[in-house]
Amino acid sequence: MIVWALLTSVGINLGLCLLFFTLYSVLRKQPSNLDVYAPRLVAAKKESEQRNGFNFERLLPTAGWVKRAWQPSEDELLLVTSLDAVVFMRIFIFSLRVFGFAGIVGVLILLPINYLGSQLDVDFDFSDLPNKSLDSFSISNVSDGSKWLWVHFCAVYIFSGVVCYLLHYEYSYISSKRYAHYYSSKPQPHQFTILVRGIPVSSGSSCSETVERFFTEYYPSTYLSHAVVRRTNKLQRLTSDAEKLYRRLVHLKSETKPQQRSRRDGFCGLFGRKVDVLNQYGKKLENLEDNVRMEQLSVAGKEVPAAFVSFKSRLGAAIALQIQQGTNPTEWVTERAPEPQDVHWPFFSSSFIKRWISKLVVVVACAALTILFLIPVVIVQGLTHLEQLETWFPFLKSILNLTVVSEVITGYLPSLILQLFLSFVPPIMIMLSSMEGCISFSQIEKSACTKMLWFTIWNIFLANTLSGSVLYRFNIFLLSPKRFQESLLMLFLHRHHSSLHSVVTSGWTSLLSSELFRLHPLICSIIKRPFSGKDDDELEVPSIPYHSDIPKVLFFGLLGITYFFLAPLILPFLVVYCCLGYIIYRNQLLNVYAPKYETGGRFWPTVHNSTIFSLVLMHIIAIGIFGLKNLSLAASLIVPLPILTLLFNEYCRKRFLPIFEDYPVECLIKKDREDQNDPTIAVFYNKLSTAYEDPALMPIRHPRSTDDHNSPLLQAGV
């Protein structure tokens, strides 16, 4: 790829970004789009009053939202959103710092050295710049065995040191935030509750009795209450049906005039005798609700040997959580309870062996998916090898010879097709994680996040970079492993073009189009709008999909770190990406996403591990590259670096990781003592004992927005 092609690509993407930016600025102000661009504020009824006013300013693209997104301090952000959101923003700040430093070193020091190298036999003619290959900006342009390579060597050492320092700083900063957040939190049910699984129910007594007996026996002073989990899959279906029917009834009642309420009961409402729709729906709802009540009664017997056990103090819950309960370690297995709204009720397989097997199956399935995904990747990569394509399909020759077509095919198509394929992966990973036996959405997302990360690294970075041509060169491996390794490294080096591309296309443009502009929800909303009326009740505030967004950002981090000394040209683009991401996600967190749960920043260790992995990968590549460049002394002097990095990681695991798992006695007791002086604690205890009831088992309660005599059921004559 030549400089000109890069500039074109950057130009196109900048244009697209500007377009999306302008469109967003305008559309954001249209009241009809508020559900798309500020559902969070709508739900909080903050912006609804704006809906009716109209002024000319609404049609002007302005950048006021950037300022509004920039302004709140981190503490204000924490107040409005969650600690997880703040930690998510810290990823951008951390990346900005890393790539800011790397960019300065890379562009000011490494880039000139690379460019002035003579390995690729180019002259120092600046007038021909646009037609130069991008390779002349990479380390491949430095002559083999050149003394200048020691600058790269030093850069690798210094950069690793700086990244480790920043990692340590962030870990300790986020740890302190986590503690501060805990200290400032009000008593919350999940702090006082644990989940107990594998309850050994003896015949002749119910699960509930067994739990009651065990905990009153061993925790007489702190045990408060418990809620046994029940198998409610069927009940959940019924209640959600009833809920839907109720909504439709309310909608019908408020929208249609009495004379429109009747329709024929035959095929598609066209034939048969006329019936009052309201009446009909009312009856249906009544039937459903009867069913629900009956099912609720029958479900009481379907106990799963698992229960949420609540304690009077945080320390009590921590003791029961962290010390083995029964003599058999596979019974009375305790687990941290998630927040009540975070519990994932449907998958509650409880037996120890079952969960273990399902975990194994999921691991195998996930590995299979990750590896089988190579097939589309390899096919897509075939597109970048037009010569290959031409030999396979000769009739395409005339079309492929057009510059535009070949540019589009080699530049855009592969990444677009990949993006399409990739968009299916996060839901699959979520599904796999939920089958693993996770009991909360947060656990599922965290587990899916790790899975996505490995998937991304394996498929996009390693496989995408290497597979395209490795398959054609695999016969080299059989002849000589050493030459194979060399050609692998050279390939990797030469593929930084496509990485640049992916930063610009899937980084910049996707970020603006899908994240800021919310293309998909916008289209959905536009399509739905004529068919449905204004129904606030149905507005669901989305939550930020950490499991797909964090791996994306971390992947760019990986690109930046590994290419830092190889092809520093990528760094400025990454800095721009981080800046864009910082502003856009802040805006979205303030306006669009509502936190669905609060893990207290438990996503950070994933970020840390991924960065360490990137560093070690960079070191391994550095060893290979210095070896290739006939500087074996430098190659062997790099060897201690990955070892030191891994030791640093081990230190961090000991120093910080426990903080992200459980709170120490010191915190727990301080908070417990605060509660003792709190007059509202009795009320809280009352709430606590019912907090973990399965929502499907609650008595049917429809939101009565109007007075009782106005209730749709009454009005429908039921």
Chain residues binding a second copy by CB under 8 A are 179, 217-218, 318-320, 322-330, 352-353, 356, 360, 647, 651, 654-659, 662-667, 669
Closest residue by Cα to residue 498 from 420, 377, 435, 412: 412
| Dist. CA 344–CA 352, nearest whole Å | 18
Containing H/E element for 226?
A: strand 223-230
When the beta carbons of 319 and 634 are compared against a second copy, the nearer one is: 319
Closest residue by Cα to residue 111 from 568, 505, 440: 568
Least distance (Å) between residue 455 CB and a second copy = 23
Least distance (Å) between residue 155 CB and a second copy = 28
| Dist. CA 712–CA 122, nearest whole Å | 81
Least distance (Å) between residue 611 CB and a second copy = 20
Least distance (Å) between residue 652 CB and a second copy = 11
Task: List helix spans (H) across 601-664.
Answer: 604-628, 632-638, 640-655
Least distance (Å) between residue 353 CB and a second copy = 8
When the beta carbons of 7 and 643 are compared against a second copy, the nearer one is: 643
Structure tokens at 672: 């417990």
Question: Which residues, 6+ apart, have CB-to-CB distance to 548 below 8 Å?
Answer: 426, 452
When the beta carbons of 329 and 346 are compared against a second copy, the nearer one is: 329
Least distance (Å) between residue 9 CB and a second copy = 45
Least distance (Å) between residue 685 CB and a second copy = 22
The Cβ of residue 602 has, within 10 Å, a number of other Cβ atoms equal to 17
Residue type present at position 636: S
When the beta carbons of 478 and 527 are compared against a second copy, the nearer one is: 478
When the beta carbons of 140 and 191 are compared against a second copy, the nearer one is: 191
Strands (E), 401-515: none
Least distance (Å) between residue 311 CB and a second copy = 13
Beta bridge partners of 306: 197
When the beta carbons of 4 and 169 are compared against a second copy, the nearer one is: 169
| Dist. CA 659–CA 189, nearest whole Å | 20
| Dist. CA 29–CA 516, nearest whole Å | 14
Least distance (Å) between residue 546 CB and a second copy = 25
Cβ atoms of 167 and 147 within 8 Å: the answer is no
SS3 145: coil
Cβ atoms of 499 and 140 within 8 Å: the answer is no
| Dist. CA 489–CA 566, nearest whole Å | 11
When the beta carbons of 214 and 441 are compared against a second copy, the nearer one is: 214
Least distance (Å) between residue 160 CB and a second copy = 19
Structure tokens at 257: 């005039």
| Dist. CA 57–CA 28, nearest whole Å | 12
Write b or e for each residue in 76-95: b if 16 or more Cβ atoms lie within 10 A of its Cβ, otherwise e.
ebbeebbbbbbbbbbbbebb
Cβ atoms of 95 and 559 within 8 Å: the answer is no
Cβ atoms of 713 and 282 within 8 Å: the answer is yes
Sign of CA dihedral 438, 170, 611, 637: negative
| Dist. CA 449–CA 437, nearest whole Å | 16
Least distance (Å) between residue 583 CB and a second copy = 34
DSSP string for 180-210 = HHHHHPPP-GGGSEEEEE---PPTTS-HHHH
When the beta carbons of 192 and 656 are compared against a second copy, the nearer one is: 656
Least distance (Å) between residue 352 CB and a second copy = 8
When the beta carbons of 352 and 458 are compared against a second copy, the nearer one is: 352
Eight-state DSSP code of residue 461:
I
Question: Which residues, 6+ apart, have CB-to-CB distance to 542 below 8 Å?
Answer: 39, 521, 592, 593, 594
| Dist. CA 662–CA 673, nearest whole Å | 18
| Dist. CA 242–CA 228, nearest whole Å | 24
| Dist. CA 550–CA 543, nearest whole Å | 14
When the beta carbons of 655 and 704 are compared against a second copy, the nearer one is: 655
When the beta carbons of 286 and 331 are compared against a second copy, the nearer one is: 331
Least distance (Å) between residue 336 CB and a second copy = 13
| Dist. CA 19–CA 551, nearest whole Å | 26
Least distance (Å) between residue 667 CB and a second copy = 7
User: Given strand 223-230, what is the order of strands in its sheet?
Assistant: 223-230, 303-311, 193-197, 333-336
Least distance (Å) between residue 474 CB and a second copy = 17
